Structure 1
Amino acid sequence: MQKVSLRKVKTPISYMQEITEEVLHFSLQGLLPVGHTLALNTTLGTLSLLVCKEDRPHMLAEQQFTTSEICVLMPLLEAYPYYCPYEVLLASFTSGRVTDTTIARCRKRLQEAQEAGVWDQEMRPVRNVLSRTRLKTRTFGIEISSILETGYILMYMPERKQADG
């Protein structure tokens, strides 16, 4: 069995070439206020919170994300309002690309890690990047919450916690 390192993350150029649109929009209904949209600029790695006022877009907040952070943020945004399974996050993190094949490979890898008792070590790099990503998404009132033995989900974060974070 070939051992694949989690530490090898695709370079920004190779990852970004796989995305066809330069700016992706996410309305995240039920998570963001009505009329608000997140715009992810995949070239610059920026996530912006936009709202339309008087027929013009206004930026309310913006954060810069590294390529690794985008690799874990994208599947979370795409999965919303549902959770994102561990194997999907791992597939995106390790290859920058989520396909049925990479998901199946990562699912098998995590099952083998679980059986060997090294699941935590296998997911540690992903969790480290998620931790940094979580700090940045709080700017938008979004929390990345863990669902035990399942994956992660985006949730609304009350204003009080946003100010503390």
Structure 2
Amino acid sequence: MQKVSLRKVKTPMSYIQDIDEEVMHFSLQGLLPPGHTLALNTTLGTLSHLVCEQDRPHMLMEQQFTTSEICVLLPLLESYPYYCPYEVLLASFASGRVTETTIARCRERLQEAQEAGVWDQEMRPVRNVLSRTRIKTRSFGIEISSILETGYILMYMPNRRRAEI
């Protein structure tokens, strides 16, 4: 007979990070039209594109993200309009907690991997999750672009390119 735990199960994001808000809002000026907002529900793992019309919010679209995908998406959203360094993505992905200590530890880890010639292997799990996340963010018109030897940045994706994908 299998033993069942009666402990309260934490939601994925509440387990990963101590987030004060269940829903985080990002206006991403220059990436989204004025009046549009992305809402990241950290409990459900959903990203919603919202717009306010006639004093009422309307959801234009929504995507479901896994916990790993949110771990790489959240630092990108928080870094916008600037790039998100590799060590921040790795810290969020590896531990779910982005603190100065975890970032410094990941920076060291990446420097050691670079010196040992295994940087690609160290970042491969993050890149794999980023590729799945990228597919989902494209439906919002947002591209996750790599900046060589630096990190990743969110960029606007024209409608024409979205139609090709």
What's the TM-score once normalised by structure 2's chain length? 0.91
SS state of the match for residue 24, structure 1?
strand
* Higher relative contact order (Cα pairs below 8 Å, separated by 6+ residues): 1
Could you tell me how far 1:20 is from its partner in structure 2? 1.4
Per-residue deviation, 1:15: 1.3
Aligned equivalents of 1:61 and 1:163: distance in 2? 16
* 2:141 counterpart of 1:141: yes
Q: How many residues align?
A: 154
| 3-state DSSP of counterpart to 1:161 | helix
The structure 1 segments of at least 4 consecutive aligned residues displaced by more than 6 Å after TM superposition are none
AA matched with 1:132: R
Structure ID, larger Rg: 2
Structural mapping, 1:77-96, within 5 Å:
77-96=77-96
Q: What's the CA shift string for 1:55-77, capped at 9, x where partnerless?
A: 00000010000000000000000
Structure 2 equivalent of residue 107 of structure 1: 107
Distance in 1 separating the partners of 2:68 and 2:54: 36
Q: Secondary structure at the match of 2:15?
A: helix
- Aligned-pair identity in percent equals 84
Unaligned runs of 5+ in 2: 1-10
What corresponds to 1:160 in structure 2? Answer: 160
1:58 is matched with which residue? Answer: 58
* Correspondence for 1:74: 74
- Deviation at residue 161 of structure 1 after TM alignment: 1.2
What SS does structure 1 have at the residue aligned with 2:72? helix
Equivalent in the alignment of 1:7: none
Q: Are 1:129 and 2:143 an aligned pair?
A: no
**How much is the aligned-residue C-alpha RMSD, in angstroms?**
1.0
Structure 1, unaligned runs of 5 or more? 1-10
Q: Write the distance in 1 (CA, Å) between the matches of 2:20 and 2:163.
A: 36
Distance in 2, matches of 1:20 and 1:139, equals 28
CA distance in 1, matches of 2:80, 2:118: 29
TM-score between both structures, scaled by the size of structure 1: 0.91
Partner deviation per Cα, 1:65-121 (whole Å, 9 max, x = no partner): 000000000000000000000000000000111000000000000000000000000
